[in-house]
Structure 1
Amino acid sequence: MFVVNLLLILFSIICSIFLVRWFLHRIALIYAVRKCVEWAADRFHVHQHFKVPELNDSTQQQNLFYRRVSLYLSSLPSLEDSDFTNLFTGKKPNDIVLSVDENQAIQDVFLGARVSWLNQVDRDRGNQIVRRSFVLRIKKKDKRRILKPYLQHIHAVSDDIEQRGAELKIHNHCDGRWKSVPFNHPANYDALVLDPDLKAKIRHDLETFLKSKQYYHKLGRVWKRSYLLYGPSGTGKSSFIAATANLLNYDVYYVNLSQVADEADLNSLLLQTTSKSLIVVEDLDRYVSERSNARITSSGLLNFMDGLMNSQDERIFIFTMNNKDGIGIDPALLRPGRIDMHIHFPMCDFVSFKNLANNYLGVKDHKLFPQVEEIFQSGARMSAAEISELMLVNRSSPSRALKSVISALQSNSKSGGKVATRLSDSSASSPAPPSVTEEGGGAAWKETMPKEFRKLYGLLRLKSSKRPGSLDADEVSLCIGYARKGRFGRDREALCEAERLLNDMGHYNSNCKADMLNVLVAIKVKVKSDS
């Protein structure tokens, strides 16, 4: 009896396997038959083809409808049935976005009519893409009935997709074409280190621009706006650009003039930009000063800024300079009409400092603020980037961060040692650097340092023929950056040694590391004052 039951069980398993195989085979067979029927039906109909190129062949201008078709096709359920489909990460890490592969077809049904799209990509002998387009294939008998409603349907669906999941992009150019990546910069206007009144004025100007299309056209002007940002490095110009892109929800197009082949290439890049875009040209003064090696003439640059080629709506141009009054700057570049608004980004003052302290340390008021204000009034100046780095490094202790800023400001102050030091040691978790007015402070501080600290301080004394001053804090990124660039001549070895010691700090605790940072940046401060 047991043997019979065992045989019955085996027989049931074998039958189940055969049934599953038959079912799967039937599904595949049905799919194959359906494909054959569709192929045969297509042979008995006359089709018409409509091409949607990515670029206009004559002007190389971007075809906006190409992007709409791309968005629409990415939303079709039938995309999963394509023989080859690309998978990409969406705006959120867990989102998966499908995209039809090159030279692959995808089917769609609209008002009972079946149409197909081909993602056509043409390459040259070097396997470089020379042309991309979508080709719509539709039965001629259905064209009059569905073509216009179908195209309107594509517009509506793509608009909905853009509104629901718009993702900003930053574009860079290579070989005369734009290439983009997602733009996820978190900058916003609330965190910008600018005078509050100036910030409100700029924001109002941008918001007014967004609502002024009809007004500009009534005046016979192109609906665009241009800004010049000028000021020293580290004062917030790049953060302003990122915050503006986020505020307006505009893509960013970064133009590197030194990488543009000629004026025709520059104009071609301009024509390929889309509406709702921020076109950025950084370090314009540096490019103009190197005019002898430039491939773009002054007239070509002026035409790029406001010539006939620059006649597309809904664009904002942003140019940056370190010094707009520098030698070699053509006044015609900056005239009204070509540049609508000049925005100065100065070195950090006390108002900006309080904004940084609130953003980085969560401190709106502190007992050390009066001393910081006094040092600023004495003429001390630092960039917002320098101060923010000091706060970032010491963010776990606001008092410690403020003391580091005070020491750095004192070393940069025009009054130097005349500024009195009033630091309180009670709130610091480690010894603070001595003031420039303290006699013997450097020696006393050395006694509390680890061996590497003393070695570093001694190396600095050995390398400099001048009287060594006491050490003051500044931000460490500039110190190491200057070491790599060798900007301080004979003290380059000291800076390189500082960088090496920083890399060996893994066995110290966080407080000790923070002290080490203050020592390293002190080298940069001292060398700068000696030079």
Structure 2
Amino acid sequence: MEPDLKNRLKSDLQSFLRAKQYYHRLGRVWKRSFLLYGASGTGKSSFVAAMANFLSYDVYDIDLCKIPSDSDLKLLLLHTTPKSVVVIEDLDRFLADKTSRVSASGILNFMDGILTSCCAEERVMVFTMNTKEHVDPNLLRPGRIDVHIHFPLCDFSAFKTLASSYLGVKEHKLFPQVQEIFQNGASLSPAEIGELMIANRNSPSRAIKSVITALQTDGDGRGCGLIGRQTEDGDDELDEPNGVVCGEGLHTVKDLRKLYGFFRFRVTRRSSSSIASLPASPLR
């Protein structure tokens, strides 16, 4: 996230914490609502966790697909406590699902209905979406959503921040090449770039080269499956064998996406067969 935006959001949250009397003087419920929108892997869920840690609030993550009815959604709101972040993820996908048992009006009442006005004191409500292009603007109007935050794909500035955090590298001879590729329109999500850096964390040169390869191939792995070797000056070069290196070697973005899909499939199967419907409970 851009430092200026991060600082403005921190100031907004600090102002919210001090605003109890102000909200009460206005006759408004003491809550703040955020919309986080952007492609998968751009940091929306991480931002929710950071927000909760910053505020020292509990987190309630509500899965609308598991809610039997509008009244059950209201009941979940009653189970939340003050000093909490109430999260509904992927709201755009849910609204596009015509088989859902929770209605759009149920969502609206959850956002700013009578029950919310009575029971949502000292709450932060967060809704995430991949895109808001096809969502009814009435759902996103001020009063229902106070702050809209866009989470973009990675650019060169964000890449440098990731390289500093993940690899301890602030400058590198390959940075001009990376910058040129970004300027030509290529991009990946911060999560994808971060995973490539983690997989190659023992060699910053190899990690940056893996990002370059992924950007050049749009993350599909064409020409990847590379193994590093060290040159005389200590840098890593990349060979091109047929296999893909696992463990400490290079992971292509395609491999990481496949792995994520496998875990998601396993979790979905397990949850659908063994997890009963439970009231919302805080995660600390």
Which residue, out of 392, 401, 405, partners 2:198? 392
CA RMSD of aligned residues (A): 2.4
Which whole-Å deviations, capped at 9, do the CAs of 1:59-87 have from their partners, x for residues lacking one?
xxxxxxxxxxxxxxxxxxxxxxxxxxxxx
**TM-score when scaled to structure 1?**
0.44
Which residue, out of 146, 152, 159, partners 1:353? 159
2:29 equivalent to 1:250: no
Within 5 Å, give how 1:170-319 maps onto structure 2: 194-290=1-97, 292-311=98-117, 312-319=120-127
* Structure 1 residue ranges (4+ consecutive) displaced by more than 2 angstroms after TM superposition: 424-429, 472-476, 479-486
2:99 equivalent to 1:320: no
Which residue, out of 211, 215, 232, partners 1:405? 211
Question: 2-side partners of 1:253 and 1:432: how far apart?
Answer: 45
Match in the other structure for 2:146: 340
Distance 1:473 1:304, change over 3 A: closer
Q: Which amino acid aligns with 1:250?
A: Y
Question: 1-side partners of 2:262 and 2:50: how far apart?
Answer: 31
Match in the other structure for 2:257: 478
Deviation at 1:264, TM superposition (A): 1.1
Question: 2-side partners of 1:482 and 1:236: how far apart?
Answer: 18
**TM-score when scaled to structure 2?**
0.81
SS of residue in 1 equivalent to 2:159: helix
Structure 1: where are the runs of 5+ without partners?
1-193, 417-423, 434-444, 457-471, 487-531
SS of residue in 1 equivalent to 2:165: helix
SS of residue in 2 equivalent to 1:201: helix
Distance 1:215 1:233, change over 3 A: same
Which whole-Å deviations, capped at 9, do the CAs of 1:177-232 have from their partners, x for residues lacking one?
xxxxxxxxxxxxxxxxx111111111111111001111111111111000000000
Q: Which amino acid aligns with 1:474?
A: V
Instruction: Specify the structure having the higher radius of gyration (Cα).
Output: 1
Which residue, out of 156, 179, 182, partners 1:376? 182
Question: 2-side partners of 1:484 and 1:239: how far apart?
Answer: 19
Question: 2-side partners of 1:273 and 1:474: how far apart?
Answer: 38
The higher relative CO (CA closer than 8 Å, separation ≥ 6) is in 2
Question: 2-side partners of 1:388 and 1:223: how far apart?
Answer: 37
Question: 2-side partners of 1:315 and 1:485: how far apart?
Answer: 30
Distance 1:402 1:238, change over 3 A: same
Deviation at 1:483, TM superposition (A): 7.3
Distance 1:289 1:393, change over 3 A: same
SS of residue in 1 equivalent to 2:116: coil
Question: How many percent identity over aligned positions?
Answer: 55
Which whole-Å deviations, capped at 9, do the CAs of 1:386-408 have from their partners, x for residues lacking one?
00000001101111111111111
SS of residue in 1 equivalent to 2:238: coil
Structure 2: where are the runs of 5+ without partners?
223-229, 245-250, 266-284
Question: 1-side partners of 2:40 and 2:167: how far apart?
Answer: 23
Kept after mapping to 2: 8 A contact 1:400/1:427: no
Match in the other structure for 1:178: none
SS of residue in 2 equivalent to 1:317: strand
Question: 2-side partners of 1:484 and 1:264: how far apart?
Answer: 32
